[in-house]
Amino acid sequence: MIKFENVSKCYNDENKAVDSLNLTINDGEFFVLIGPSGCGKTTTLKMINRLIDLSEGTIYLDDKKISEYNIHELRWNIGYVLQQIALFPHMTIEENVAIVPELKKWDKKKVKDRITNLLENVGLEPEKYLNRKPSELSGGEQQRVGVVRALAADPNIILMDEPFSALDPISRKRLQQDMVKLKKKINKTIVFVTHDMQEALALGDRICIMQEGKIVQCDTPDEIIKNPKNDFVRNFFKSGNVYKTSLFESDYRVKDFVEEGLYDNMEYNEDINCINTEESLENLFSLLTKEKIIKIEQNGKVIGTLNMGHLVKFVANKLEKDGEV
């Protein structure tokens, strides 16, 4: 567990880059920090592994103040992935990834097994990549290696600062999908910074929206979509309010969910609300704000159920197709 208690950071006397943050990130959670450039995301992240000292307040890691940890112990147990990962150019991929496990004095076989396994998990064939140099990899492949390096020594926490934002849309999408799979497998606490709402919705268990060093809203994706706290949050879903304007005014219907496979295709006999596949997104939304699950009916037959998670995914997909938020 990572806990921020009244944490502030001032780089100078004028203003606070981070202003009285109170925040608890749970074990195993995929926690997304999002907000416009300069709102304090990177500062917040770097205070966790003490790359930046805090000016006020306390950060706890598993109930112990981070200032009380041995700095090496702290850093080795927190993986860190940057936007543009800095691999050592003269070292092979294997050597680059093995750095922290070797510092931790893992035996050779364990290191090799771990690296091989992780490379496979991010879609890089070990035989092909282990002995290459970073310059022989594409940008997307280098970012994958960055993820592997951060995970290599099996840290409990991974900090990721806009790790995919320098990539082309296709590599980025692929890495996001890998992260979704990896997240289920590894069960780590991940703090992920982005300025892209689509990415946040696709990955986050909870999303924390920041503005000028403060938290505006910190909630699950469905809660943020259902109850955006103010116009700033709403505006994060594109010009004005994508959610209520463009998507609601669009022609999307429940059948689009079915066509995209975004529903639970299972029998459900309980007596709950039902929506026809011809009905609008707006009607679906208003039903989902009242009920957790809704049955879908097509040609007089119940074909499955929908929940807010499906709606969030649908919105995320559409936002992605329509470009960056």
Residues that bind ligand ADP (CB under 6 A): 11, 17, 35, 37-43
**Strand blocks (E) in the chain:** 2-10, 16-25, 30-34, 56-61, 64-65, 78-81, 157-161, 189-194, 206-211, 214-219, 274-276, 293-298, 301-307
Q: Which of residues 112 and 214 has its CB atom nearest to ligand ADP in the complex?
A: 214
The number of helices, as runs of H, and strands, as runs of E, in the chain is 14, 13
Angle at 97 between CA 92 and CA 100, to 5 degrees: 130
Applying CB under 5 A, does 44 fall inside the site for Mg ion? no
Q: Among residues 202, 198, 206, 193, which one has the least CA distance to residue 236?
A: 198
Q: Which of residues 40 and 101 has its CB atom nearest to ligand ADP in the complex?
A: 40
Q: Which of residues 76 and 232 has its CB atom nearest to ligand ADP in the complex?
A: 232
Binding-site partner at residue 203 among Mg ion, ligand ADP, none, CB < 5 to 8 Å by type:
none
How far apart are CB 23 and ligand ADP at their closest, in Å?
15
Q: Which of residues 15 and 138 has its CB atom nearest to ligand ADP in the complex?
A: 15
Contact 80, 158 (CB under 8 A): yes
Provide the 10 A C-beta neighbour count for residue 301: 7
Phi, psi at 68, each rounded to 5° = -90, -5
Q: How far apart are CA 224 and CA 218, in angstroms?
A: 8
Binding-site partner at residue 38 among Mg ion, ligand ADP, none, CB < 5 to 8 Å by type:
ligand ADP
**Strand blocks (E) in 220-312:** 274-276, 293-298, 301-307
Kindly indicate which of the ranges 41-49, 66-74, 271-279, 303-311 contains the residues binding Mg ion, using the contact rule CB under 5 A.
41-49
Binding-site partner at residue 142 among ligand ADP, Mg ion, none, CB < 5 to 8 Å by type:
none
Q: Which of 42, 49, 176, 217 binds Mg ion (CB under 5 A)?
A: 42
How far apart are CB 10 and ligand ADP at their closest, in Å?
9
How far apart are CB 17 and ligand ADP at their closest, in Å?
3
Contact 27, 155 (CB under 8 A): no
Binding-site partner at residue 40 among ligand ADP, Mg ion, none, CB < 5 to 8 Å by type:
ligand ADP
How far apart are CB 197 and ligand ADP at their closest, in Å?
15
Judged by the rule CB under 5 A, the positions of this chain that interact with Mg ion are 42
